[in-house]
């Protein structure tokens, strides 16, 4: 692997924080980021996140045990704050400590961050605006994941291009900031490290690995897709706040629109409360995602993917993907060094 000194120097902060050889995170993807994939990522020098999703608490607990048997390296457990099982997951983690906890879906409360840190875990929180980043820092986050709207799954509404300028450049010196959303190549990794990012997070490209157990139909849908096919879901009315989800356009996306309209009518009629409606939305995504990832129904299931899906054209081993990212990042740094030397 062509890892050069420039890459090692720029990557040092993120590597030290994560306890990994490379500051490359495989993001937690429900039904995708299970112990085998996470272990393959960790065992090849990067950093993996086990997806809590809405798994039964005892299942998540067993997955943590299994993962510890598969890798001696550190990993994170991802807890989705808007999942119905979230509080149970957080309680379970208290009695089964892990090295890292990533809060996702929405944003944790201060007491929840404190509870996570009290277990001895390092806490990573997502940030999709400067105000949210500053709030998570106040709450005690040890690091941030700055996720642009280009990403797949639950997303914010601001592009990574803007967030780099608005957030990374302002808080990147305070704590490690990992950048996510639309990242697919080692060349981009190099430029983000030069901008001050501690590292990067990728999801979509890790789906297209041999170790990923997603259904063959799911991967085939990725292979066929262009960047413009990965669209985010709308919110029809502020009365029912929903976290936007980016996925490939299909009939399942249309069904979600119908679900929102039905829930809004029920809320207006007083037959359902807002929190219940929001839980119904999350249950829909959990079920629709399983339908696509596990069962292979890519027409009515949720094929969550980032816009980088347009660059995810082949299935390769995890090791080959990580080697490619590191090698290409190192070569790009050499290229930039050559350009600067003639100025």
The CATH superfamily label for domain 5-214+312-336 reads: Aldolase class I (3.20.20.70)
pLDDT of residue 117: 96
Residues in the chain where the model's pLDDT stays below 70: 1-2
pTM of the predicted structure, to 2 decimals = 0.94
pLDDT of residue 122: 98
pLDDT of residue 286: 81
Check if the beta carbon of residue 11 is closer than 8 Å to that of residue 23: yes
217-267 pLDDT tens trace? 999 999 999 999 999 988 888 899 888 889 999 999 999 889 999 999 999
Beginning with the edge strand found earlier in the chain, give each strand of the sheet holding 153-154 in spatial order: 153-154, 245-248, 230-232
294-323 pLDDT tens trace? 999 999 999 999 999 999 999 999 999 999
pLDDT of residue 16: 98
What are the sequence ranges of the domains in the chain? 5-214+312-336, 216-293
pLDDT of residue 54: 83
Distance CA 231, CA 250 (A): 10
Structure tokens at 211: 């170790």
Who's near 186: CB < 8 A, 6+ residues apart?
324, 325, 326, 327, 328, 329, 330, 331, 332
Backbone angles phi, psi at 59, to 5 degrees: -70, -45
CA 257, 258, 262: angle at the middle one, nearest 5?
Answer: 120
CA separation, residue 202 to residues 113, 181, 185, 331 (Å): 24, 7, 10, 20
């Amino acid at each position: 692997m062509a890892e050069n000194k420039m890459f090692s120097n720029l990557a040092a902060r993120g590597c030290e924080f994560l306890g990994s050889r490379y500051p490359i995170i495989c993001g937690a993807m429900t039904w995708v980021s299970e112990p085998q994939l996470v272990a393959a990522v960790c065992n090849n020098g990067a950093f993996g996140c086990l997806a809590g999703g809405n798994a039964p608490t005892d299942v998540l607990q067993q997955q943590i045990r299994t993962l510890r048997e598969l890798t001696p390296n550190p990993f994170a457990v991802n807890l989705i704050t808007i999942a119905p099982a979230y509080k149970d997951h957080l309680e379970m983690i208290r009695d089964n400590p892990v090295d890292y906890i990533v809060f996702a879906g929405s944003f944790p409360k201060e007491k929840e961050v404190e509870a996570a840190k009290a277990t001895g875990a390092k806490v990573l929180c997502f940030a999709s605006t400067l105000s949210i980043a500053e709030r998570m820092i106040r709450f005690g986050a040890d690091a941030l994941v700055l996720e642009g709207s280009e990403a797949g799954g639950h997303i914010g509404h601001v592009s990574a291009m803007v967030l780099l300028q608005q957030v990374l450049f302002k808080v990147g010196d305070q704590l490690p900031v990992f950048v996510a959303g639309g990242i697919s190549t080692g060349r981009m990794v190099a430029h983000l490290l030069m901008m001050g990012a501690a590292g990067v997070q990728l999801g979509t490209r890790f789906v297209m690995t041999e170790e990923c157990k997603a259904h063959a139909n799911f991967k085939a849908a990725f292979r066929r897709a262009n960047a413009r096919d990965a669209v985010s879901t709308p919110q029809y009315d502020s009365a029912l706040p929903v976290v936007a989800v980016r996925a490939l356009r299909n009939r399942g996306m249309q069904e979600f629109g119908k679900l929102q309209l039905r829930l809004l009518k029920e809320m207006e009629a007083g037959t359902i409360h807002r929190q219940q409606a929001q839980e119904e939305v999350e249950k829909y995504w959990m079920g629709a995602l399983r339908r696509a990832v596990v069962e292979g129904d890519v027409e009515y299931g949720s094929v969550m993917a980032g816009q980088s899906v347009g660059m995810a054209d082949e299935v390769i081993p995890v090791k080959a993907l990580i080697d490619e990212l590191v090698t290409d990042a190192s070569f790009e740094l050499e290229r930039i060094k050559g350009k600067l030397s003639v100025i």
